[in-house]
């Protein structure tokens, strides 16, 4: 009998349990922020940035970061059409409009030329999402930001372990955001982080995350602005500390799993996977090994998912273009986005996945191709 293969699952070791237990037993009163501050420090040291603020989710971190930039009703924010909705929803929370542009066919990330074409006097920011750990063209995007005086945000929730020309993903734009949801490369159950080198963004988000209270103001419970409350708990942060202490190992395992799939699947003609960068200073974290079937392969996504299900294997569909969704519905000429999504799936990739299990997944993919 085969065991079930989940598509993701966190890697939890002894220290995660030990620290969470300590936080639950002792992390109160004077110590109620200890693990939170330690988690923020460990994470910012890993990334090589000046400031970090742990949050209850990536969605919340993005909401506050956009708010700190002054994004408001009537503004436009440019983002790739192929994305999880969490990257775009906070734009709408502030009354601004997401402008969905097309992706590049190899990295599946935002196309810089399409960004230029979409800029209007209302454009205030670009959100560069490093999809599945593949990297956006950051040099080009940063240059567009400078040229038009608009902010660049990195949603690096899927890009822990990805390095762009020597710089870690999330450390390049005006600010970066991460998620520690249970499906991500490191987890706190639910959780997120905002990172930045800009002290003004850091200060404003600190105030925003405390319902507008400024810790420098001596008046207790005085609010200077309407804020939010997206704080992480000390217990979640305790798990996060143990995860960051193992971060290199956790990233390396994700990369190993990708290459175990890639070594085999890349030899099958008609299958495209996440790219392997040829720049020595650039590296992908491979949060989600993904395959796209060529149009020459007579491939039916629903059928493949059914075969996976029959074999007790979870697989995920590629994200839909957001411009298809009912709340955004709009005609867009995002040819690549609309072409790719029906032909692509993500493969199981949790850290504890065994090589024999990876072989089971590989076999099913090749059997489906032979049958069609």
Residues forming the site for ligand PLP (CB under 6 A) = 57-59, 84, 86-87, 129, 155, 157-158, 179, 181, 192
CB of 61 to ligand PLP, least distance (A): 8
Residue 70 or 182: the one with the smaller Cβ distance to ligand PLP is 182
DSSP 291-345: EEE-TTS---HHHHHHHHHHTTB--EEPPPBGGGSTTT------HHHHHHGGGEE
Residue 202 or 287: the one with the smaller Cβ distance to ligand PLP is 287
CB of 277 to ligand PLP, least distance (A): 19
Residue 157 or 361: the one with the smaller Cβ distance to ligand PLP is 157
CB of 49 to ligand PLP, least distance (A): 18
Residue 81 or 155: the one with the smaller Cβ distance to ligand PLP is 155
CB of 132 to ligand PLP, least distance (A): 8
According to DSSP, the β-strands at 175-179 and 167-168 are unpaired
C-alpha dihedral (349, 354, 359, 364), degrees to nearest 10: -50
Residue 150 vs residues 155, 167, 175, 222, 292: alpha-carbon distances, Å: 16, 21, 13, 32, 33
Q: Which of 106, 144, 111 is nearest to 129 (CA)?
A: 111
Judge contact between 200 and 174, C-beta under 8 A.
no
CB of 130 to ligand PLP, least distance (A): 7
According to DSSP, the β-strands at 316-317 and 97-101 are unpaired
CB of 87 to ligand PLP, least distance (A): 4
DSSP 182-217: TTSSS--BS-EEEEES-HHHHHHHHHHTTTTB-TT-
Residue 173 or 213: the one with the smaller Cβ distance to ligand PLP is 173
CB of 162 to ligand PLP, least distance (A): 12
Residue 181 or 332: the one with the smaller Cβ distance to ligand PLP is 181
CB of 190 to ligand PLP, least distance (A): 6
- DSSP letter at 128 equals E
**3-class SS of residue 223:** strand
* Longest pairwise C-alpha distance within the chain: 72
Judge contact between 51 and 196, C-beta under 8 A.
yes
Q: What distance in Å separates the CA atoms of residue 142 and residue 137, rounded to the nearest whole number?
A: 9
Residue 235 or 368: the one with the smaller Cβ distance to ligand PLP is 235
Report the chain's C-alpha Rg in angstroms: 21
Residue 59 or 209: the one with the smaller Cβ distance to ligand PLP is 59
Count of beta carbons in the 10 Å neighbourhood of residue 14? 8
């Amino acid at each position: 009998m085969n065991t079930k293969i989940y598509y993701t699952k966190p890697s939890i070791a002894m220290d995660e349990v030990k620290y969470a237990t300590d936080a639950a037993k002792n992390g109160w009163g004077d110590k109620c922020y200890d693990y939170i501050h330690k988690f923020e420090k460990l994470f910012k040291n890993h990334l090589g940035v000046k400031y970090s603020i742990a949050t209850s989710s990536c969605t919340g971190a993005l909401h506050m970061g956009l708010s700190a930039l002054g994004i408001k009703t009537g503004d436009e924010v440019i983002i790739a059409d192929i994305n999880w909705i969490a990257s775009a929803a906070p734009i709408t929370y502030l009354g601004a409009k997401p402008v969905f542009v097309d992706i590049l066919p190899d990295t599946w990330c935002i196309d810089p030329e399409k960004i230029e074409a979409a800029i209007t006097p209302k454009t205030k920011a670009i959100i560069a999402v490093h999809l599945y750990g593949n990297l956006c063209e950051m040099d080009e995007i940063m240059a567009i930001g400078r040229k038009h005086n608009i902010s660049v945000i990195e949603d690096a929730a899927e890009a822990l372990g990805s390095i762009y020309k020597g710089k870690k993903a999330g450390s390049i734009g005006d600010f970066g955001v991460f998620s520690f949801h249970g499906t991500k490369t490191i987890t706190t159950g639910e959780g997120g982080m905002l990172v930045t080198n800009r002290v003004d963004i850091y200060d404003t988000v600190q105030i925003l995350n405390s319902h507008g209270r400024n810790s420098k103001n001596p008046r207790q419970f005085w609010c200077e602005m309407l804020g939010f409350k997206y704080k992480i708990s000390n217990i979640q942060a305790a798990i996060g500390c143990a995860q960051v202490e193992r971060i290199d190992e956790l990233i390396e395992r994700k990369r190993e799993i990708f290459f175990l799939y890639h070594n085999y699947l890349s030899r099958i003609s008609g299958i495209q996977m996440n790219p392997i960068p040829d720049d020595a200073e650039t590296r992908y974290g491979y949060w989600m090994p993904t395959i796209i079937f060529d149009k020459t392969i007579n491939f039916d996504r629903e059928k493949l998912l059914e075969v996976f299900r029959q074999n007790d294997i979870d697989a995920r569909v590629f994200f839909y273009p957001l411009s298809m969704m009912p709340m955004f519905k709009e005609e867009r000429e995002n040819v690549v986005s609309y072409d790719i999504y029906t032909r692509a799936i993500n493969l199981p990739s949790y850290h504890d996945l065994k090589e024999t299990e990876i072989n089971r997944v590989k076999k099913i993919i090749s059997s489906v191709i032979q049958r069609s």
